[in-house]
Structure 1
C-alpha cells in the first residue's frame, strides 16, 4: 500500500536528511509531499546541495490526509517550531499515533509541539537535553523506534539505518 508522507520543511534544512529519506520512500512506492510556508517557494539546503520546491503551503493541508510525517534536520525545524500551524500539524500525527520520522534537529519541532513525554527518541547530541527536558527517554543510538510510531535518528551517518526503518514502518 502506498503511503502519503508529509514533509514539513523550510530553508536551510540539512540537504541529505531530506533527499536520502525521500529517495528511499519513493523507491518503496510512497508519495512524499513537501509542506512549507508558501506553495511554489524554492528553498535551498544549508549546504547548497539540494533545492526543493514547496508543493503545499501549511494553510492548504489537512494532516488527516497523510499517513506519516517526515521532519528533516538542519535549521528548518527551529524555524518551523515558532509557527503554531506547524505545531498543530505535528501534534495530529502524535495524537493519532501515525508514524513520525525525525532526524538530527527534527525533534525540536516535537519538543515545541509538546508530544515527547514518555516517548523513546534520539537526536543530534546538542538537542538531547531539549528532548530530555520535554520528558522523552533519550537514547544515543543510530535509530530509536518508539511503540507509538516515532522513529528517530541522530545524524546523516545514520541515514542507511534510518531509511531502512522508515520504509519498513510503512510496509
Structure 2
C-alpha cells in the first residue's frame, strides 16, 4: 500500500450490480488506494449479475478487522441480500460504524445497513423498490441521488454513481477523481 493511501473494504457476494462495484472500485484504486474485497468466504470468484465483471474475494468477513479500514463500500444488486444473512458481515458493519468509519451503500446496499440496525430514526435512500422494506425503526426514505446521514452515504441506482463516488471520495479524504 502506497504511503498516504487508504484501505477501503468492498463487501461483496454473488449477483452484485456490475457498475456499482466496478466504478467505485476503479475510483478508489486509481490513485493507489488499497481496495480489499471482503466476502462470505476468502478466495471466491464472484460475478456481477450482468456478467461484465468478476472479482475474487481477498478475505472473509470473519478474517476482516474493521479498524484496519478507512471506508466501507457496499455495492447493490443481489449481493446485499446474501451479505445481510451473514452474522460476520453484520458484525463488521456494526463495528465499522461504531468507529465512525464512512460506510457507503448503493441500490440494495442499505439492506445491510438496515439489518445491522444502523438506520434507526435516520434518513436514507436506496433502490426505491425496497424503500418500504428498509423504512422500519423510524427510518425515512428520501428519493434523492445521495443521502448522507452521519458516516453513512447512500444512493439509489447506477444513475447516481457519480454522486455516490464523489461523496465517498470526499469522506475518505483522498484525491481519487
CA distance in 2, matches of 1:119, 1:97: 15
For normalisation by structure 2, the TM-score amounts to 0.91
- Maintained 8 Å contact 1:111/1:130: no
Q: How many residues align?
A: 170
Tell me the CA shift for residue 28 of structure 1: 4.2
Tell me the CA shift for residue 90 of structure 1: 0.8
- Maintained 8 Å contact 2:120/2:136: no
Structure richer in helix, relative to its length:
1
2:8 counterpart residue number: 5
- Maintained 8 Å contact 1:28/1:167: no
**Alignment equivalent of 1:65, drawn from 68, 87, 90:** 68
For normalisation by structure 1, the TM-score amounts to 0.94
Tell me the CA shift for residue 118 of structure 1: 2.4
- Maintained 8 Å contact 1:107/1:127: no
2:42 is equivalent to residue 39 of structure 1? yes
Structure 2: tracts of 5 or more residues without a match: none
1:149 counterpart residue number: 151
**Alignment equivalent of 2:83, drawn from 76, 80, 83:** 80
Pairwise CA RMSD of aligned residues? 1.2
Structure 1 runs of 4+ off > 6 angstroms?
A: none
Alignment of 1:22-171 (within 5 A): 22-146=25-149, 148-171=150-173
Tell me the CA shift for residue 20 of structure 1: 0.5
